Structure 1
Amino acid sequence: MPRPRVPRCVRVAVAALAAVAVAAPLTACGSSPDLTIYSGRNEQLVGGLLEKLEERVGGTVEVRYGGSAELAAQLLEEGAGTEADVFFSQDAGALGALDDANRLEPLPPAALDAVPAAYRADDGSWVATSARSRVLFYDPRQVSGADLPATLDAVTDPRWRGKIGYAPTNASWQAFVTGVRVLRGEEGARAWLQAFGANQPVRFDNNIQILDAVNAGQIALGLSNHYYWYERVAEVGEQAVPARVHYVPGGDPLGLVNVAGAGVVAGTAQQEMARRAVEFLVSPEAQQYFADETAEYPVRAGVASTRHTLRPLDQLQPPDIDLSDLASLQQSLTLLQETGLA
């Protein structure tokens, strides 16, 4: 007899600043599951994968969805009394914050050794499950390949005044700014943000709107993540997508590669099952899911997308940064407010 499906819990996200500081209680779910996952990844993206995870860990699984920063704050507030066994984060910063607070347990070699050292915590507390690259969407009708910005500072050139889009409330923009802070220091990041703001960038609510605006010729450039373009191409075909993707080379901050990842919550009574869950997320099956269904980069060697022609991850040239250092999101939000780019 098939096992009944466990109800999935979804709660409404609060504003980004409030989410980092204080997270509201999660919506209650039904009877006690064997394993509880707090997922900062959207249900539409990973719901199907987490249903497969339930089959692999050998028990019932409850998933509670929300923003990654919000759920990390929730875990810190709940402390040892949390019901969470696994934290599945949209970005490395939230994982780093929990690691700094000693709220994650060391992972087994089977999970850690599945990915390169750059995509796991130095202390083995979390492991990346997929990666995404910051890119520039550009309109080739307005910008030639030779004129594309090659550095972070190049996007502040007056030639791009009023012609470059960004999504200030998007978590990926905030994590990117955190990366700039880590790489350039507080004052270096402030100087760049002030120069960027003086160039009159165009604000959008999300990255999809940025891609739409570049496609329509409304802006020449857009700061975003790579997978939005690949997903659009998979939907409508490359000929119907005027925009193109520019990967910034040379280890520049503009080419930051961030990751989604997972860790086992400290003190869980389901340690073995929780570890199996994380191991599944870096398994070939799960990595193929990310490569095909979400157009993200698999972090396990030997896995390639069968649907998207992604540039290989090992051919990208991101800046040299410890992704755990992206945990200082609150300082970035404060800096963005102070520079008028929040």
Structure 2
Amino acid sequence: MRIHRKLSKTVPGLAVLLALALSLGTGCVVRQGTNPVKNSVVVYTSVDQNYAELVFADFQEKTGITVLGGFDTEASKTTGMVNKLVEESKNPRADVFWNGEFAQTLLLAEKGVLAPYGSPAAEGLPSKYRDGDGLWTAFGGRARCILVNTDLLDPEEYPTSLLDFTSGAYPAEKTAIALPLFGTTATQGAALYGLWGPEAARDWFASVKDSGVRIVDGNGVVRDLVADGQLLFGLTDTDDALGAVEKGAPVEILFPDQGPGADGTLMIPNTVALVKNPAQNPNAKAFIDYLLSPETEQFLLDIGWIQAPLREGTQGTVPVLDTYPLDLEEIYGHLERSKEELSELYLQ
């Protein structure tokens, strides 16, 4: 299954929202101790700042509540913010954590950093994307995909499965994945441990390494190498892949392992959670309700932060996909072992 281009949509009032976003500042958290800025909410997020600030501005415009954002640096994406939340847990500064993925959110739940909140706005989201104790809720996100250079391969030659990376049908050095110890490729590893079993998944990653598949620093690097014609294809995420499509690169986005009897592909949803705080800010629940609403899901699609909504009936940038038959807890449950074993394999 493939997608040729991103749907083009117009976001009403985008110029107004951009101006509002700029007024929110550069991401420094203004809240000090127990004296927050009047009528505000502090949101720590791993989401790219240019997207997050549009959302903060939209929320502020609709509610009058000021969002004080705390952002990760690119070098410590997600993990830096998670470490900060753990360090601050005895004296929390954040009210809400909005994560562009899910594994680190589940880690915070495990560490007791989050508080339960079952948002009424989560109605319509599948139960597999909602924590049974209300500690987090997942919503729209991105999907794992294979980006192909169309100048180098004809359609009848396109890969259709992750197994094509190790099948011998393609020169391995002309394909690539990101190092599977960080980000969504690490999550992919944990998911395959759950889907195929630990031994089979580790064997596949060993075959990837031994066959000469290029191991690069991130999904964006995979995209750039495919777009530049240095690779036939590579494994990446829809947000990175669509960046190449929008720049007019000779590429096509494919979704592996689709159809009857196939494994499906991995979906990486966003998650949002209430941070445990003795002095709970009522604006925190208002922000979570806003973020989980169908209207905001559509807004996130329109601005390009997400490509795959989780609500049925919402049209995304990508088609409706066959996805892994695993819930988020199952994937997270394999993460520690998969990262440990893949570290031994790839850092030798």
Calculate the TM-score normalised by the size of structure 1.
0.81
Residue 243 (structure 1) aligned to one of 248, 251, 256: 251
* Contact residue 134 and residue 254 of structure 1 kept, 8 A: no
Q: 1:324 to 1:95 in 2, by over 3 A?
A: farther
Q: What's the offset of the Cα at 1:203?
A: 3.2
CA distance in 2, matches of 1:254, 1:142: 25
Q: 1:155 to 1:232 in 2, by over 3 A?
A: closer
Structure 2 SS opposite 1:136: strand
Alignment map for 1:86-97 (pairs within 5 Å): 86-97=96-107
Partner of 1:220: 232
* Contact residue 38 and residue 84 of structure 1 kept, 8 A: yes
Residue 190 (structure 2) aligned to one of 174, 178, 182: 178
Structure 2 SS opposite 1:255: coil
Residue 261 (structure 1) aligned to one of 271, 274, 278: 271
Name the count of aligned residue pairs: 315
* Contact residue 92 and residue 324 of structure 1 kept, 8 A: no
Alignment map for 1:99-138 (pairs within 5 Å): 99-138=109-148
Paired AA for residue 137 in structure 1: L
Partner of 1:54: 60
Moved more, 241-250 or 255-264: 241-250
CA distance in 2, matches of 1:226, 1:296: 7
Paired AA for residue 181 in structure 1: Y
Q: 1:74 to 1:254 in 2, by over 3 A?
A: farther
Partner of 1:24: none
Q: What's the offset of the Cα at 1:148?
A: 3.6
Gaps of 5+ in 1: 11-26
Paired AA for residue 298 in structure 2: Q
CA distance in 2, matches of 1:149, 1:123: 40
Partner of 1:298: 309
**2:241 equivalent to 1:229:** yes
CA distance in 1, matches of 2:255, 2:220: 18
**2:166 equivalent to 1:156:** yes
Structure 1 SS opposite 2:147: strand
* Contact residue 193 and residue 201 of structure 2 kept, 8 A: yes
Partner of 2:47: 41
Partner of 1:192: 204
Partner of 1:311: 318
Q: What's the offset of the Cα at 1:230?
A: 2.6
Structure 2 SS opposite 1:264: strand
Structure 1 runs of 4+ off > 6 angstroms? 27-31
Gaps of 5+ in 2: 1-19
Q: 1:204 to 1:219 in 2, by over 3 A?
A: same
Calculate the TM-score normalised by the size of structure 2.
0.79
Q: What's the offset of the Cα at 1:286?
A: 1.9
Q: 1:321 to 1:120 in 2, by over 3 A?
A: same
Q: 1:174 to 1:57 in 2, by over 3 A?
A: farther
* Contact residue 111 and residue 282 of structure 1 kept, 8 A: yes
Paired AA for residue 110 in structure 1: P
Paired AA for residue 102 in structure 2: A
